[in-house]
Each structure stands twice: as C-alpha cells, then as structure tokens.
C-alpha cells in the first residue's frame, strides 16, 4: 500500500498551514490542489512547498472540489500511489483518526473507506436535514444502505478504481462530486467501509457551498443517478440477494 493525503483547497488561507503541520507527523506525502485561489493563497502554498516539502498543484481557474480531486487522483496514479486519503482543508476533520482510515484500507485494499461524521451540538439543523435527504437518495440510487454519508469529504479511495470512474465525463466537478463517485463505486461492486469520526463545525468557517447553484447541481446529479439505478436495477438487486 502506498498512500498520500490530498487537500483540495480554495482560499483556505487561515487553516491550510495548520492542516499541513498536523498532518505531517503521520508521515504520508501531502498533495495540495489549489483550485484557482487568489494570489495570497498561492504565495502561502508556494512557501509551504519549500518549507514543508509538500507537493502543490495549481489550477489556473476555479473548477470546484471535484475537479481538484480528479486532478489529485490522476496525479496519484502517475506517481504510483495505490490509495488517496482525501480531507478538507478547513480543519473540520479529525486528523487523529487517520490511522483508522489507513488501517481499514490496508485490511480491505479494494474498498472505499468513507467517514461517517459525528456532528457537534452546534451544527445547524438545516444542514443536518439537507444531509439526510441526500443519504436517502443515495440509498435509493444504490438499492442499499452501504453508504452511511455520501457528502462527507473524509475518505480513502483505491486509486485504480477511482481513476476508472473519473474517465466518465459526466461525473460532477463541484459539491456533487463526493456523493456521485461514491454511488458509482458501489455500482461497480466496490465494497464500502464506514468509519465514525467527529467533525467540527465553525460558525464563522469558510464555506464554498453556493446555496442555489450547488443545490441545483446536486438535484440534477440525483436525477441522473436515479435513472442510472433504474438501468442497473437488475444487477444491483441480484448482487444484494447474493450477499
């Protein structure tokens, strides 16, 4: 197993260096994908590349989280990595749980390892309710409850399997990416392991979720995936019965 940590980022100026510092004791190579951030962020990342020996990929234009992760997986494949540990750059994920995620991937190298978030009490109810809707849709689209939380960005991808899926040009490039790639991996028969992990919610945290446009993208994604489920329903039901 050869694993790297991937941090897609867009102007996470106040948290990115702290994330790198907290990640480095775990000993995994770090790839930061700068998704078209401003010049201040670029300066910070170039400095981290020199001082902290992290790898930085600069995207010329903002393409969305999914576009950044796609670039990261392509890079990881070229570099010979077998697994990518994806985390957000906003310091919400529990870095201390990295060994759990990596161990799960070592024990099941072909599986998709997904974080199952444990939310703090200050998390807005609207965010939790919206998440529940996506969870139900994903259960319908996979005809299973294999995916505990499709929206959470703390996960480990087996690179080869993820790379094959990303050849599909219709896979979302923004906030619709995380749930879509998870669903498509289940469609391909890839096992899913869910790991509970705490997540922090910062009321003044930087959010790149655009309420209108991202909800439209996610709604369209679920429409496409629902149609895809109908086309695959026989295979999915047979697989579920055999399990």
CATH number, residue 29: 3.90.550.10
Is the model more confident about 27 or about 213? 27
What per-residue confidence (pLDDT) applies to 15? 93
What per-residue confidence (pLDDT) applies to 208? 55
What per-residue confidence (pLDDT) applies to 126? 76
Average the pLDDT over 100-116 and give the result.
98
What per-residue confidence (pLDDT) applies to 127? 76
Average the pLDDT over 121-138 and give the result.
86
What per-residue confidence (pLDDT) applies to 46? 96
Q: How confident is the model at residue 176 (pLDDT cuts 50, 70, 90)?
A: confident
What per-residue confidence (pLDDT) applies to 194? 98
Average the pLDDT over 100-126 and give the result.
94
Average the pLDDT over 98-127 and give the result.
93
Q: Which domain holds residue 23?
A: 3-242
pLDDT surpasses 70 at 142: yes
Instruction: Calculate what percentage of the chain has a pLDDT beyond 70.
Output: 94
Q: pLDDT tens digits for 177-228?
A: 999 999 999 999 999 999 999 998 766 555 555 656 666 878 888 999 999 9
What per-residue confidence (pLDDT) applies to 50? 94
What per-residue confidence (pLDDT) applies to 170? 75
Please give the tally of structural domains in the chain: 1
DSSP state letters, the chain? --EEEEEEESS-TTTHHHHHHHHGGG---EEEEEES--HHHHHHHHHHHHHS--EEEEESS---HHHHHHHHHHHHHHHT-SEEEE--TTS-B-GGGHHHHHHHHHHSTTSEEEEEEE--TTS-HHHHHHHHHHHHHHHHHHTSS--S-SS---EEEEHHHHHHHTTSTTS-SSTTHHHHHHHHHHHTT--EEEEEEEB---TT------HHHHHHHHHHHHHHHHHHHHHHHHHHHHHHHH-
What per-residue confidence (pLDDT) applies to 202? 66
Query: Mean of the per-residue pLDDT values for the chain?
Result: 91
What per-residue confidence (pLDDT) applies to 164? 94
Q: How confident is the model at residue 234 (pLDDT cuts 50, 70, 90)?
A: very high
What per-residue confidence (pLDDT) applies to 207? 57
- Answering whether pTM is above 0.95, one says no
Average the pLDDT over 149-177 and give the result.
90
């Amino acid at each position: 197993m050869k694993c790297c940590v991937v941090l897609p980022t867009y102007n996470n100026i106040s948290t990115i260096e702290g994330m790198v510092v907290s990640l480095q004791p775990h000993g995994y190579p770090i790839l930061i994908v700068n998704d078209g951030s401003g010049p201040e962020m670029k300066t910070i990342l170039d400095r981290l590349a020199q001082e902290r020996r992290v790898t930085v990929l600069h995207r010329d234009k903002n393409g969305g989280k999914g576009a950044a992760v796609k670039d990261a997986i392509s890079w990881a494949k070229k570099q010979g990595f077998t697994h990518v540990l994806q985390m957000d750059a906003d310091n919400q994920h529990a870095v201390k749980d990295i060994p759990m995620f990596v161990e799960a991937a070592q024990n099941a190298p072909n599986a998709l390892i997904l974080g199952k978030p444990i939310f703090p009490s200050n998390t807005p109810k609207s965010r939790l309710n919206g998440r529940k809707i996506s969870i139900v849709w994903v259960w319908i689209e996979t005809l299973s409850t294999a995916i505990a939380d499709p929206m959470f960005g703390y996960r480990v991808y087996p690179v080869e399997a993820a790379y094959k899926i990303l050849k599909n040009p219709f896979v979302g490039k923004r906030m619709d990416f995380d749930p879509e790639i998870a669903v498509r991996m289940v469609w391909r028969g890839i096992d899913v392991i869910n790991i509970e992990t705490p997540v922090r919610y910062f009321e003044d945290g930087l959010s790149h979720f655009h309420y209108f446009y991202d909800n439209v993208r996610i709604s369209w994604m679920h429409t496409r995936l629902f149609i895809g489920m109908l086309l695959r329903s026989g295979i999915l039901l047979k697989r579920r019965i055999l399990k």
